[in-house]
């Protein structure tokens, strides 16, 4: 229908021309049968032209659409378009190329700004670690109830700065991998040691189950994930807070389980806890919530090939499982 509408001026001109020719022939004394035959041939040629043009145009446009659907970067469409057939198509193609060039320039500028911002964040985090470390040493050398409170707050500051650093790097974690065999008990011990003052301030009772398993992963990234989980357990703790670390075995998998008996996550919030910036009902109660911790954990787990499972009941606590795939070759060596 749209094709016929586009060709309507040409059809009208042909019909007007045919009418005038028929009148001229009749006025010249030609037989009616001859005029009708000429008109029929004219209309048949016009119909064939419309049908053939429609089929050819449809085939050409369908091919362009198929190429566009196969493109991952569809802004490159002007580069794969066939040569323009009409002057109008040439103008539209030129406009598309101008739009493509403008967009690529803006994307490149945005990428440069994003890279500069990421580099600034990384530099700032490394710079801020120096005074934090100095303050920790001062507190360690002058033990008092006040210094222990300060150390707990310094651990929180460290966690926030690490969160900023890992967020800046989370898109390029593949450049900072060091996959090796790690004992689960070593991972958990390091995470507890890094958060000892925060755990002490929160009055958390630590329970450690059987953590004899070995996994292949990146120690630094997984400790960051554990730091976020521990921080959430302290932040959303309940009365008589408890935090338990344990391991579970599944066919071809090892699970590190971190379970607390805190506030728990409301059922309506549970499907969204991994979304960026989502704080939920608990986050409105605990005003220091940012909604970034579990989001970063989810992104890092995806990059590392670690499964992340969260089970929770409001008022009873939360269990977070990090699911590691067992390397068959290493498992065979250990057997």
List pLDDT tens digits, range 293-307.
888 889 889 888 899
pLDDT at 172: 62
Nearest-CA neighbor of 326 among 307, 310, 300, 313?
A: 307
Could you report the per-residue pLDDT of 197-242, keeping only the tens digit for each?
Answer: 888 888 899 999 888 888 988 888 898 899 889 988 988 888 889 9
pLDDT at 224: 87
pLDDT at 69: 77
Residue 309 has pLDDT above 90, yes or no: yes
pLDDT at 5: 75
287 pLDDT tier (thresholds 50, 70, 90): low
Residue 144 has pLDDT above 70, yes or no: yes
- Mean pLDDT, the chain, whole residue set: 83
pLDDT at 327: 64
- What DSSP assignment string belongs to 244-281? EEEEEEETTEEEEEEEE-SS---TTTGGGTTSTT--HH
pLDDT at 333: 40
> Which regions of the chain does DSSP assign to beta strands (E)?
179-183, 205-208, 214-218, 242-250, 253-260, 307-313, 317-325
Structural domains for the chain: 2-101 (no CATH), 175-334 (3.30.565.10)
Q: Residue 263: CA atoms inside 13 Å, Cβ hemisphere, count?
A: 17
pLDDT at 306: 92
Which is more confidently placed, 308 or 168? Answer: 308
Nearest-CA neighbor of 247 among 259, 233, 257?
A: 257
pLDDT at 328: 47
332 pLDDT tier (thresholds 50, 70, 90): very low
Nearest-CA neighbor of 228 among 269, 273, 270?
A: 273
192 neighbors 233 (Cβ within 8 angstroms): no
**Does the reported pTM lie above 0.75?**
no
d(CA 38, CA 19): 11
Q: Percent of the chain having pLDDT more than 70?
A: 93
191 neighbors 320 (Cβ within 8 angstroms): no
Q: Chain-centre distance of CA 285, in angstroms?
A: 28
């Amino acid at each position: 229908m749209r094709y016929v509408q586009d060709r309507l001026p040409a059809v009208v001109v042909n019909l007007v021309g045919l009418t005038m020719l028929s009148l001229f022939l009749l006025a010249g004394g030609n037989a009616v049968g001859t005029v009708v035959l000429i008109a029929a041939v004219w209309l048949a040629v016009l119909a064939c032209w419309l049908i053939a043009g429609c089929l050819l145009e449809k085939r050409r446009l369908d091919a362009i659409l198929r190429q566009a659907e196969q493109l991952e970067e569809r802004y490159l469409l002007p580069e794969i378009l066939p040569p323009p057939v009409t002057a109008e198509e040439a103008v539209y193609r030129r406009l598309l190329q101008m739009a493509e060039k403008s967009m690529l320039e803006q994307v490149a500028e945005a990428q440069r700004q994003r890279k500069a911002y990421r580099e600034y964040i990384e530099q700032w985090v490394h710079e801020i670690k120096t005074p934090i470390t100095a303050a920790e040493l001062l507190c360690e050398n002058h033990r008092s109830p006040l210094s222990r409170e300060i150390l707990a707050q310094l651990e929180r500051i460290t966690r926030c700065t690490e969160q900023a650093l890992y967020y800046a790097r989370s898109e390029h974690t593949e450049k900072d991998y060091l996959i090796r065999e790690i004992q689960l008990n070593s991972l958990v011990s390091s995470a507890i040691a890094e958060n000892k003052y925060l755990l002490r301030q929160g009055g958390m009772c630590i329970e450690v189950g059987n953590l004899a398993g070995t996994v292949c992963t990146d120690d630094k990234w997984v400790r960051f994930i554990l730091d976020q989980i521990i921080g959430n357990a302290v932040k959303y703790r309940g009365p008589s807070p408890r935090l338990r670390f344990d391991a579970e075995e599944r066919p071809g998998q090892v699970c590190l389980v971190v379970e607390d008996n805190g506030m728990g996550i409301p059922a309506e919030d549970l499907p969204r806890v991994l979304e960026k910036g989502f704080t939920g009902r608990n986050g409105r109660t605990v005003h220091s919530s940012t909604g970034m911790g579990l989001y970063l954990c989810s992104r890092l787990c995806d990059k590392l090939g670690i499964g992340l499972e969260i089970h929770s009941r409001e008022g009873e606590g939360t269990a977070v499982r990090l699911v590691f795939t067992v390397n068959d070759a290493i498992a065979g060596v250990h057997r």
